[in-house]
Structure 1
Amino acid sequence: MKLRTGIKRYLPKGLFGRSLLIIVLPVALMQVAVTWTFFEEHWETVTARLSESVAGDVAMITELYQDQPGEFERIASTAYSTMGLSVDLREGDALPTARRTAFFRALDRTLRRALANELDEDFWFDTTRYPEYVDIRVAVADGVLRFIVVREQVFATTGHIFLLWIIAATSLLTAVSIIFIRNQVKPIRQLAEAAEAFGRGQDVERFKPAGAREVRQAAHAFIDMRQRLKRHMEQRTALLAGVSHDLRTPLTRLRLQLALMEKSEEREAALKDLAEMEEALEEYLAFARGQAGEEPGPVDLTALCHEIGENVRREDGADIEIEAEEGLVLEGRAAPLKRAVTNLVQNARAFATRIVLSARRVEDRIEIAVDDNGPGIPPDRRGEAFKPFSRLDEARNANRKGVGLGLAIARDTARAHGGDVRLEDSELGGLRAVLSLPA
């Protein structure tokens, strides 16, 4: 289990990386297996046979020279004409002590093993000094016999060509895979972006299905879903507009009749109830209407926070501080955002004497926070506070003056813009409501 978890940590997280891994990894493993088999079964075997043949020729020439030292010229001529070996006698010379190793150590290892099996004398060789030749030296009684051998006689020289072909084929397949996978992933990414934009209430009319059949099916399903949701929202808005008109008419008549009545405690109570009914009606309509009726555009949150603060000071005379960074602008709907922040401020205003409205950028998000010094909401009751029509009966009722929709409207607006609302403990001792939006 730990091993699997450790491996997953290093695996690609995106579809493009995983698809590329699925295609490239088997190809790479196959190429490695083929290369290993080639070098193990063919290349090293052929190289060993060639090295053994040259080692046998070197051993024979060395033995002939030691048996007939005076015939060196004839032996050297015969070795060159029949075996392709260039032989030179260096009288009084000694074997070098320095040794240079080839890039492919298997070459030196194979030649050393072959010479050790064929020669009883000390020897030395160099496979790196000359690109086309191998220098082999054997110690004899009166000096050193130096053999210059064509490299092709000692090693199979096609190994590097095979490696180049393997690397080129793998690179080509990887490049083709990247091109095709990118073309397949692009429609999926466009579908995800369109769904995210639609979730924020932005127009995605230009989105067109593309890609593989399954991706196009998902895209068509998304378009159908979008059309159904738009029709549902339009029907809901039209229905609520009619309900609003039908209810406002009798409420207006009632208000007119109460205005013509003589002043009394019953009349004042009736007017108060009527005002609460109108306020509840407005809140119901605002919650159900959602984002309808306004196109998204740039919203200056800095100016919006200052405007809300001034309105609260002017209407309620509340002690509210504004701490908003400059230049906080995002794409959204100004009216719903203003109502959401106003709801958070009004909730704090109902139970606190001091309020701090702040706005700042946090990494890739913009956070608007409302802190207060009120009684707060217990952590285990904060989820309930977001439920529509919910009223908290303890010391703090987040929606006491309304019908329980203030936080619900704020969260609905935040999520429509790709964000959310969360409740935390405030440094002022009360509640901290944070409206978090993607920048």
Structure 2
Amino acid sequence: MSFAWLKRYMPRGLYGRAALILLLPVISVLVVVSVVSVQRLIEGVTKQMTTATAREVRLVLDPRSEPRDAAILAISVNSISQSAVPSTDIRSWYDFSGIIVIREFSRLLPTLRAVSLADSQLVSLYIQTEDGPIEVRFDRRRVSAANPHQLFVNMAVFGALMTLVAFLYLRNQLRPITRLAKAAAAFGRGERVTYRPAGANEVRAAGLAFVSMRARIERQIEQRTLMLSGVSHDMRTPLTRLRLSLAMLDDDEEREPMLRDVRDMERLLDEFLAFARDAAEGETELIDPAALIRQIVQDCERARIPATLYKIVGEGEVRLREAGIRRAVENLIGNAVRYGTRAEVSMRLTDKSLRIRVEDDGPGIPPDRREEATRAFTRLEPGRNQDKGTGVGLGLSIAADVARVHGGSLRLGQSDRLGGLCADIVIAR
């Protein structure tokens, strides 16, 4: 039997699940103890006491007994009129033991007409005799235990107290896990928060492994940045000399193709430098994404790049790294106009997410190669137009990295309006 449907009702957070694990046994024990108490204490004891009292009532009503017997048994017997007899049994809705009292008296006293438990201290029996109806009154403690609800009150109070104590202890055990989760999530967004392993041995071991992993990744990123920055910087000097030498040539037909090759090499170096810079550089700040998108499109128009603003939906500020978002959107626009004739940019801001979309009318990317396209140094020119320029396969990779450090993702699809590639940067708020 599958219990998969229960997952939708389970708490998502660690504290919620821990509280559920803690409360379920406590509540189960309370329910079992309550059921046993009702069956044994309330029902069993009340039944025995009611049976004994019913025998005493029969003894008092026996014509052969002496009048002093009623006084000895602390039972009051009074003659009443027919109109004073209740038409039905009387008890409070919360008086569970009264149900058993009424049931047992009705079974043991055949001439009983009604039972009144309106007064919590007294029991009134209305019995029909040959001389007319009589009222038999005696203390309620003769037929049921005094304050039977105290057991449930004590169970509830001490159960809540022990649950609170256990939850406080459990919270101290869960706090190192939540701190580790927050540190890991922050590192995934490119932020570094102070974290010191603590807690139980298993949690401490996981924390030490995370700290070691974070240090190793940071060293690799630093080495990659230094390597690419050094290579790109060292290559600019000979390229500058080569450009100056070509500028001195008199033959324009030979000079222009070689200058174009130099410009392509400089553009490739710029892409290497952009990739070498970490996507998480800079601090996040509250910015207006709509204003940023409008500014990026205006800069493209001034640079005579065929990019237009299609639609902006929603207003507000979002905590972003402005330089990273600008670089990602510019890379998507550059890819769009390289493999198509135009690019259209749109933005949608909701309470839950920010979506920046760039569409083009180019050949697009096949669905089975879209994941491969976001990897660094991956070129898909066999499936796209090579006549529009060359690249090193870093545009989509940089955009994906920027989206990832913001806690989002880069999604590639097909544009329904333009027919080419549709690239979405989706960031949760």
Normalising by structure 1, we get a TM-score of 0.88
**Residue number among 97, 112, 115 corresponding to 1:107 in the alignment:** 97
Bigger drift between 278-287 and 371-380 goes to: 371-380
2:405 is matched with 416
Q: What is the Cα deviation at residue 116 of structure 1?
A: 4.0
SS in 1 for 2:412: strand
Question: Is 2:320 the partner of 1:336?
Answer: no
In the alignment, the residues of structure 2 paired with residue 375 and residue 398 of structure 1 have an alpha-carbon distance, to the nearest angstrom, of 12
Runs ≥4 residues deviating over 4 A: 91-94, 325-328, 395-400
1:93, 1:143 within 8 Å by CA — same for their partners in 2?
no
Q: What is the Cα deviation at residue 105 of structure 1?
A: 6.5
In the alignment, the residues of structure 2 paired with residue 271 and residue 254 of structure 1 have an alpha-carbon distance, to the nearest angstrom, of 9
Structure 1 residues not aligned, in runs of 5+: 69-73
2:36 is matched with 37
2:249 is matched with 261
**Residue number among 168, 177, 180 corresponding to 1:191 in the alignment:** 180
1:405 is matched with 394
2:228, 2:272 within 8 Å by CA — same for their partners in 1?
no
Question: Is 2:131 the partner of 1:142?
Answer: yes
2:347, 2:357 within 8 Å by CA — same for their partners in 1?
yes
1:175 is matched with 164
Q: What is the Cα deviation at residue 201 of structure 1?
A: 1.5
1:357, 1:370 within 8 Å by CA — same for their partners in 2?
yes
* Alignment deviations for residues 279-301 of structure 1 (CA, whole Å, 9 cap, x no partner): 11221232233336534434442
1:376, 1:396 within 8 Å by CA — same for their partners in 2?
no
1:91 to 1:380, Cα distance in 2 relative to 1, 3 A: closer
In the alignment, the residues of structure 1 paired with residue 225 and residue 4 of structure 2 have an alpha-carbon distance, to the nearest angstrom, of 50
1:322, 1:358 within 8 Å by CA — same for their partners in 2?
yes
SS in 2 for 1:371: strand
2:298 is matched with 310
1:356 to 1:110, Cα distance in 2 relative to 1, 3 A: same
1:350 to 1:226, Cα distance in 2 relative to 1, 3 A: same
Q: Which amino acid aligns with 1:303?
A: A
Bigger drift between 169-178 and 216-225 goes to: 216-225
Q: What is the Cα deviation at residue 327 of structure 1?
A: 4.8
Normalising by structure 2, we get a TM-score of 0.90
2:240 is matched with 252
1:236 is matched with 224
- What is the percentage of aligned positions where both structures have the same residue? 37
Question: Is 2:70 the partner of 1:79?
Answer: yes
2:348 is matched with 360
Alignment size in residue pairs: 427
* Alignment deviations for residues 132-152 of structure 1 (CA, whole Å, 9 cap, x no partner): 111111101121121111111
SS in 2 for 1:316: coil
SS in 2 for 1:203: coil
Bigger drift between 23-32 and 139-148 goes to: 23-32
* Alignment deviations for residues 287-342 of structure 1 (CA, whole Å, 9 cap, x no partner): 23333653443444223212211121111252512533575433333222211100
SS in 1 for 2:46: helix
* Alignment deviations for residues 19-71 of structure 1 (CA, whole Å, 9 cap, x no partner): 2222221122222222222232343222111101111111111222xx58xxx
In the alignment, the residues of structure 2 paired with residue 114 and residue 5 of structure 1 have an alpha-carbon distance, to the nearest angstrom, of 48
1:71 is matched with none
In the alignment, the residues of structure 2 paired with residue 173 and residue 225 of structure 1 have an alpha-carbon distance, to the nearest angstrom, of 40
Q: Which amino acid aligns with 1:200?
A: R
Q: Which amino acid aligns with 1:7?
A: L
**Residue number among 355, 358, 368 corresponding to 1:380 in the alignment:** 368
**Residue number among 110, 118, 123 corresponding to 2:108 in the alignment:** 118
